Structure 1
Amino acid sequence: MKELLIMAKSLGGGGSEVALIELINALPEELYNITLVLLDSDNEYAYRLKKKVNIVQLTFNNSFAKSLVSMYAFPAKVLKKLSINSFIPYYDFVSNCVTNVFEKTYDIAIDFYGYGSFVTAFLATKIRAKKKATWLHDEKIYWMKSVQKYLCKYDKVYGVSQAVVDVFCREYPHYKDKTEVFYNVIDIEEIKRKSEQDELIPFKEKFNIVTVGRLTEQKGYDIAIEAASILKNKKINFAWYAIGSGRDEEKLKELVKKYCLEDQFVFLGRKDNPYPYMKHCNLYVQPSRHEGYGLTILEARVVGLPIVVSNIRPLTEQIQDGINRYVAELSAEALADKIEYLYNNPSQMEKTVDYLKEHPIDFSTELLKLENI
């Protein structure tokens, strides 16, 4: 049995945390003894873990060091003023303030959090392992500069899509030989089972659209709301549901009021089980500005939903436009036009659903990548 250590920020938050849990659940128990080391105590998604995992909370000998464990502890305007080398001294300082003792030599140690965080530095310098890997979750990799000093300590750099890997290799070509795609895995049968559970779904007798994700600029909800305004002006009988929470929630609700869309664009909040909501909609739309891979797209594929995505590479990797999915340029007008086309052509959406049923998703080759390193 292999000793596997995984470091992450927490068990609560967004898509990367869900991807972490799904990866752990997919790893064979007879092959891996897993230790999960977390920075934060947020364990909102801990109930999704299906196997025994040794969870260790990282502790520090002073509160100041604890406050520095994440880049996000600083306001954005402060981060912009910091030089790249500003991160390295405080990452090294904070690593020396950790009170946990890791005496074991692990077979594999994974920095799953990534994002140029303290975790990347700590695992590189303080964890003993025969092999080490770090993860890239987004095609925007400006934050890698803050940990570039530590990348030489890693045997593998995994990107969650080919688009992410290509961006990284352009910026860091000397690491190309140890960089590889590792697609996020999900429990397909569990999603199907959960999609059948009873939920009090407030859907109306309309063309129902759903988007799942954090209420942030990255996910493009503002573009979705503008597209909804165009659809309303075209007298299309629709309702658009947003599942998620986030820092832009109030701003987005104000935008809905501005366009008088209270009856058309509905915020459902965060849902532990979004799959029945997805299953009972007609269309899934993801208008993201940037992504790593798009986990919710994968989930919508499992549920069997026709999907419209913005034309960005990490999302179009999963897409054969007009066959298993539809692509729109990242603008309210283009998004509204694509939705209107599908609204007026239900037979086209039926063909998409049939294609999804005939082409199941398989993750078996992804899990072998850990064995191969």
Structure 2
Amino acid sequence: MKKKILFVINTLSRAGAETALLELLAQLAAERGEDGQPRYELSLFVLMNQGELVQQIPEGVRLVNPRYAPVSVLEPKGRIYMGMTVVKCLLHRANLIRLWRYHWRVARAMRKEGRLMPDKLLWRAISDGARRFPEEYDLAVAFLEGGSAYYVADHVRTKKKAAFIHIDYQKAGYSRELDRDCYLQYDAVFPIGEQVKRAFLAVYPECSARTRIYHNRIDCEKIRKMSGQPGGFTDDFDGIRLLTVGRLTPQKAYPVAIEAMRQLKAEGYPVRWYVLGEGSSRRELEQHIASCGLKEDFLLLGAVENPYPYYRQTDIYVHATGYEGKSIAIQEAQTLGCAIVASECNREQITDGEDGILCALDAAAVKEAVGFLIRNPDRRRAYAQAALKRPVNYENEERLLEQLLSEKE
């Protein structure tokens, strides 16, 4: 009989984890048994009932949401829809009243640390207020932290439970009190990289025996093919193009990039910086860009359906972020042979001085690294060629879900 697997994710908007989930679902949907039939019966539940990537759900994967809005959580219409969903969840089952002690206690702990994060604080109510299903599964997978992790832990009837971890657990603002120790209920925990694993086990050491790295999957051939499609830069700039791909959020540390760009321009470098992505920090960043006199030189292009022509056409890819799990954008840049400058939190993906440059998350350090590659085109080309040769192997990860399904309860 086919094994029934349910995947749960918070939203299905354009971002790294969502892209990785779609690739994993495509891989699982393509697997066949000895009889030539699909090995798995795959279902997907999107906790917030929204996201523009719904059309990219692979054939053979059933979306179980009875209602769904194909809008981004970053668009005005999408933010309104998301707000309505949050209100419904707070009112459903009297969650606002039932969870007030939890919200008060966790909010107080967050304030003590100087990091009050309403979005993370609300995941518990969203999880508890989401639709529940009577169906039982062989495996339920929470593909993101927060809401989906709480939902699978508490509200899914399943024989086995697995959770993916995509971020530095502590730096992202999670805690055992916030999670109510939900990861102790999981049969397997899959961090997407070694740094993510270490950060998670520093908080949940008792999960060590059931924690295995499961790298995010990307379709390299598809990416290369899409990079040759029409698209990319439309201006007539003939200098050095810098590219960053990522949501406009504090995690991505764009003020550092903006200041680095100001310094590059002040030193006379013929450079223009482009950012693909959308997010809650857009207005603040636009004001910062204007105050630095960079409205023509640091361009926020928004989210695009096919970013790969931009990678192919750029001179240097820059990923100076505050913290990461394992960046899909860096993997894509390497697949397309980009010379890369990245902050030190991306050390797991780049070997400094061999296939890119790692630097401190500091404007002067980013400026110096970018300036070095502008002044040394031979080194730029060497890093690009080395990035292309970086090995990609998913063989070990492909067995992890199968092994979990075959284990006796």
Give me the TM-score of the superposition, normalised by structure 1. 0.88
Runs of 4+ in 1 over 6 A off after TM superposition: 58-63, 66-69
Q: Residues 140, 334 of structure 1: CA spacing in aligned structure 2 closer, same or farther, 3 A cutoff?
A: same
* Contact 1:92/1:121 (8 A) holds in 2: no
| Residue 42 (structure 1) aligns with | 50
Which residue type is aligned with residue 149 of structure 2? Answer: T
Change (3 A) 1:67 1:293: farther
Does residue 176 of the first structure (1) align with residue 208 of the second (2)?
Answer: yes
Deviates more, 1:197-206 or 1:250-259: 197-206
Alignment of 1:1-373 (within 5 A): 1-27=2-28, 28-29=30-31, 30-57=38-65, 64-65=91-92, 80-81=107-108, 91=124, 95=128, 99-104=131-136, 106-115=137-146, 117=147, 119-141=148-170, 142-145=173-176, 146-199=178-231, 201-203=233-235, 204-312=237-345, 315-373=346-404
Aligned partner letter, 1:190: K
How many angstroms does 1:279 deviate by? 0.8
Instruction: Check conservation: 2:7, 2:140, Cα contact below 8 A.
Output: yes
Offset of 1:175 from its aligned partner?
Answer: 1.2
Query: Could you tell me which amino acid in structure 1 is paired with residue 26 of structure 2?
Result: N
Structure 2 SS opposite 1:35 = strand
Contact 1:40 1:57 (8 Å CA) reproduced: no
Q: Which runs of 5+ in 2 are unaligned?
A: 32-37, 68-84, 97-102, 112-119, 405-409
Give the CA deviation at 1:93. Answer: 10
1:88-121 alpha-carbon deviations (Å, 9 max, x no partner): 9x949964x65533232x2221011223x3x323
Q: CA deviation at 1:252?
A: 0.9
Q: Tell me how far 1:5 sits from its aligned partner.
A: 0.7
Aligned alpha-carbon RMSD (Å): 2.9
Distance 1:34 1:191 in 2: 25
Structure 1 contact 227–333 (Cα < 8 Å) conserved: yes
The aligned amino acid for 2:293 is C
Equivalent pair of 2:240/2:315 in contact (CA under 8 Å): yes
TM-score by length of 2: 0.81
Q: Do the aligned partners of 1:35 and 1:55 also contact (CA within 8 Å) in 2?
A: yes
Query: How far did 1:19 drift?
Result: 1.9
Cα 1:264–1:121 change in 2 (3 A) is closer
Q: Distance in 2 between matches of 1:361 and 1:3?
A: 29
Aligned position for 2:82: none
User: Does structure 1 retain, via aligned residues, the 8 Å contact 2:142–2:164?
Assistant: yes
Task: Decide whether the 8 Å contact of 1:68 with 1:94 is kept in 2.
Answer: no
Aligned partner of residue 240 in structure 1, secondary structure: strand
1:140–1:68 distance in 2 versus 1, CA, 3 Å: farther
What residue ranges of structure 1 are gaps of 5+ in the alignment?
70-75
Deviation track 1:218-251 (CA, whole Å, cap 9, x = no partner) reads 1011100000001001100011001111111111
Give the Cα separation in 1 of the matches to 2:266 and 2:93.
51
CA distance in 1, matches of 2:209, 2:89: 40
Closer/same/farther in 2, CA of residues 159 and 328 from structure 1, 3 Å limit: same
Q: 3-state SS of the aligned residue for 2:305?
A: coil
Shift of 1:346: 0.6
Tell me if the contact between 2:141 and 2:161 (Cα under 8 Å) persists in the aligned partners.
yes
How many pairs were matched up? 359
Change (3 A) 1:346 1:68: farther
SS of residue paired to 1:25:
helix
C-alpha distance in 2 between matches for 1:256 and 1:93: 35
Q: Closer, same or farther in 2 for the Cα pair 1:262/1:122, shift >3 Å? A: closer
Structure 1 residues 297, 152: closer, same or farther in 2, change over 3 A? same
In 2, the alpha carbon distance for the partners of 1:98 and 1:357 equals 43
